[in-house]
Structure 1
Amino acid sequence: MLSDLPFDLVDEILSRVPTKFLVRLRSTCKRWNSLFDNHRFSKKHFGNAIKQSMFILFSDLKFFTISCELQKPDCYNVSRCKISLKECICKGECKVFEILHCDGLLLGLTKCFELIVWNPCLKQTKLIEPHFHKLHTPTPGYAFGCDKKYGDRRYKILLFLVSGYSRKFCKKYLEVEIFDFTSNSWRVLNVKIDFLLVFPTRWVSLEGNSYWIGADENTHEGFIVRFDFSNEMFGRLSLPFLAYPCDEHLSLSVKNDRISILHQTSHSYSIEIWMTGSVIDGQELSWSKFMRVDDENFDIRFINPNFFIYDEENKMVVFSDEKSRNEYRVYHKYTEVYVEEVEDYKEPIIYNYVPSLVHIR
């Protein structure tokens, strides 16, 4: 029996069990339940769970987790599972119109201008009391990450306020505030913002830090903006090509410990995807070209592309595209894969999502 094995071996075995099955084991053994609440085990399990990732679709105030097995070129196994807030903790109507994630935790901004942090796997929620009037400002931008200085993961929320200059999808912000889960309070962050953010709520999270596509406010030349939640500082990282994000189409994605970027110019259907080596805090990124798509049947013109690399070895890429009302598609190489009809859908957003045992504190 599993309970007769050395506890270190039990730890190793359980750390490789998918989250949805692990949660069901909580009531079977007090010792296991205690283990699942351990920060070290949660971190170890999350590292293994990356290999079992799915993607999350957010569309028209509804969101779904979708497992998509693309094992053979013409054989697809797609399943959909709707996730919802069963017990709304909002003071108003709970309809989420923005959704972000970090370490398996979701951060949502609701129609009633409340911020909710939520772990769907553990069914835990936390209401973040914002400066109410500030969330009503035009195009607020925000991000979700964690401070790693103290060994455990102390979560924080970054909020951009007072939008200034704007060009197409590029926004200039003048003020930044940060919410610290430890103190349960907001404070103004005294940092210099000398860049534009492209689609401010479309960022990626890696090792607790947040990454955006950014542009120089004078030349409009593109780069990656990184915010380090440990030292609470912004930094610039260079792209593998010259680009002007206010006029071209770029998108970031994360696969394990690497960042990838999709690039499509405004005058071509061709796309390029580049991938970094392992991302290390404080260091410049090293890039290699992952793939280029030049195909007359690949006639997609992106505006704000959403994608992630499903299988690096076989060069499988998943991204969304609106072809018609009430359906979205996932592309494997150049083949359309109909996932499932989503009622009243608009502009779906997909993220590479990994369920986790991280507790909201």
Structure 2
Amino acid sequence: MISDLPQDLEEEILSRVPITSLRAVRSTCKHWNGLFKDGSFIKNHRGKEFLAIKSNGSQVCLMSINLHRNQPIKRIGKTKLEYTSRFIHCNGLLLFVTEEGNITRLVVWNPYLGQTRRVEPRRVYGQKDVYGLGYDNNNNHKILRLVYRFEYNVTQELYDLKSNSWKVHPSPSAIVYQPYTGISVKGSSYFLTKEKGEEVVGNAFFLLGFDFTREAFGPRLELPYLSDGREEYPKVLSALREEKLVVLLRRRVYTLEMEIWITDRVEPNAVSWNKFLAVNMATITGFKYLVYARRGLFVDEEKKVVVFSEMTAYGPHNKTLSCIIREDGYLKKVDLGEECSSRGPFVCSYYAPSLVQI
């Protein structure tokens, strides 16, 4: 009888159940249902899957990938969303920005519960709008919308999923650099930002963190810079297990030198950084590949590994793959298949199921 198994073995077995089968497993008995309601079990046993989001214009797929073993890639969830251009991942929920022609929509998806919800706007969504997803101290999930009508004309709106209502807040004094969405860490959203009127080059960038409990932005947060101070491309933000921020710095133009930094402290009002990895893609790839990190950057801190969602191979037939890179020059190319290939993949980091009703 499985009920006679030691608890640690039972939990290990249940942790391997695909996300799409979890609801059926929960309904098997009260004990298992209680385990999946236990926040510590979810965090310790269900937060180990590395996921990628892929879109083909008619559906979005959630893919499970093993970074360190040659195991097949598994599709573990899908939902019908047309023309997905951006997404935010927070606490097991996914917020998608979908665009078709001049029509923009917001859709929240909980893959674990199999629920989707369209968020109707207070006024029509714009293609230049920027979004954040987070939650307050009472675990109420909220969406931040920065409405851009002109370059410096920004309205700040906040949507509460529980009350299904919008409200307007004072506009931020700085400008969130478009077209980035917010990165969710510990329930707050973080944005690459510049001062109004300041040219967006090199060291003009800084961070702003939005606190969903106070419903306000914190002070200016400094970013790390390349050690020799040479001009660099705009930084790329990501998150590690929704607990730390990750930033990628890259040289301009004819070099493929990159540095990756991770926070050892991050709050909406304070941040500090440590260098994680420095790589030269020219040395690793021999200039055969160029990495694009804006659509997905993922870090495995323990294994000293970085995953990029797009790596283009130059030659007679250009091909886009995902890639896994280590500082010692290790390079592994990952083909995520053709099922949902035209608009992805988008890296989603580690995922833990959410019981949040949407």
Provide the TM-score with structure 2 as the length reference.
0.79
2:18 counterpart of 1:29 = no
Aligned counterpart for 2:111 among listed residues 100, 120, 125? 120
In structure 1, what is the equivalent of residue 239 of structure 2?
254
Q: How many Å apart are 1:43 and its aligned residue?
A: 6.3
Q: Output the CA distance in 1 between the equivalents of 2:13 and 2:159.
A: 31
2:335 counterpart of 1:350 = no
**CA, structure 1 residues 266+285, in 2 after alignment: closer, same or farther (shift >3 Å)?**
same
Q: Output the CA distance in 2 between the equivalents of 1:278 and 1:207.
A: 11
In structure 2, what is the equivalent of residue 307 of structure 1?
297
Aligned counterpart for 2:140 among listed residues 139, 144, 154? 154
8 A Cα contact 2:62 2:77, kept in partner? yes
Structure 2's unaligned 5+ residue stretches are none
2:84 counterpart of 1:96 = yes
Query: Aligned pairs, how many?
Result: 332
Identity of aligned residues (%): 29
1:188-207 correspondence runs (5 A): 188-201=168-181, 203-207=182-186
The alignment yields a C-alpha RMSD, in angstroms, of 3.4
8 A Cα contact 1:274 1:287, kept in partner? yes
In structure 2, what is the equivalent of residue 186 of structure 1?
166
In structure 1, what is the equivalent of residue 79 of structure 2?
85
Deviations for 1:41-80, whole angstroms, at most 9, x for unmatched residues?
Answer: 2465135533333333345454333333233xxx633404
In structure 2, what is the equivalent of residue 209 of structure 1?
188
**CA, structure 1 residues 314+108, in 2 after alignment: closer, same or farther (shift >3 Å)?**
closer
SS in 2 for 1:134: coil
**CA, structure 1 residues 210+261, in 2 after alignment: closer, same or farther (shift >3 Å)?**
same
Deviations for 1:64-112, whole angstroms, at most 9, x for unmatched residues?
Answer: 33333233xxx633404163326x8xxxxx5534322211111123345
**CA, structure 1 residues 320+303, in 2 after alignment: closer, same or farther (shift >3 Å)?**
closer
**CA, structure 1 residues 59+251, in 2 after alignment: closer, same or farther (shift >3 Å)?**
farther
Matched AA of 1:306: G
2:271 counterpart of 1:285 = yes
Q: Output the CA distance in 2 between the equivalents of 1:159 and 1:288.
A: 31
Aligned counterpart for 1:17 among listed residues 15, 18, 23? 15
Matched AA of 1:229: F
Q: How many Å apart are 1:328 and its aligned residue?
A: 3.0
Aligned counterpart for 1:134 among listed residues 117, 124, 132? 124
Q: Output the CA distance in 1 between the equivalents of 2:212 and 2:91.
A: 14
In structure 2, what is the equivalent of residue 339 of structure 1?
335
**CA, structure 1 residues 15+158, in 2 after alignment: closer, same or farther (shift >3 Å)?**
farther
SS in 2 for 1:238: coil
8 A Cα contact 1:138 1:163, kept in partner? no
Matched AA of 1:63: V
8 A Cα contact 2:194 2:206, kept in partner? yes
Q: How many Å apart are 1:174 and its aligned residue?
A: 1.0
Aligned counterpart for 1:328 among listed residues 298, 320, 330? 320
**CA, structure 1 residues 157+312, in 2 after alignment: closer, same or farther (shift >3 Å)?**
same
8 A Cα contact 1:67 1:79, kept in partner? yes
Q: Output the CA distance in 2 between the equivalents of 1:82 and 1:326.
A: 29
Q: How many Å apart are 1:353 and its aligned residue?
A: 4.4
Q: Output the CA distance in 2 between the equivalents of 1:43 and 1:200.
A: 32
1:43-54 correspondence runs (5 A): 45-46=42-43, 48-54=45-51
Q: Output the CA distance in 1 between the equivalents of 2:223 and 2:206.
A: 5
8 A Cα contact 1:144 1:155, kept in partner? yes
Q: How many Å apart are 1:251 and its aligned residue?
A: 1.1
Aligned counterpart for 1:67 among listed residues 64, 67, 71? 64
SS in 1 for 2:15: coil
8 A Cα contact 1:78 1:339, kept in partner? no
Q: Output the CA distance in 1 between the equivalents of 2:261 and 2:318.
A: 31
**CA, structure 1 residues 122+253, in 2 after alignment: closer, same or farther (shift >3 Å)?**
same
In structure 2, what is the equivalent of residue 274 of structure 1?
261
SS in 1 for 2:337: coil
**CA, structure 1 residues 187+326, in 2 after alignment: closer, same or farther (shift >3 Å)?**
farther
Q: How many Å apart are 1:142 and its aligned residue?
A: 1.2
Q: Output the CA distance in 2 between the equivalents of 1:125 and 1:338.
A: 29
Q: Output the CA distance in 2 between the equivalents of 1:101 and 1:303.
A: 17
Structure 1's unaligned 5+ residue stretches are 89-93, 166-171
**CA, structure 1 residues 344+357, in 2 after alignment: closer, same or farther (shift >3 Å)?**
closer
Q: How many Å apart are 1:301 and its aligned residue?
A: 5.8
8 A Cα contact 1:54 1:67, kept in partner? yes
**CA, structure 1 residues 250+101, in 2 after alignment: closer, same or farther (shift >3 Å)?**
same
Matched AA of 2:79: L
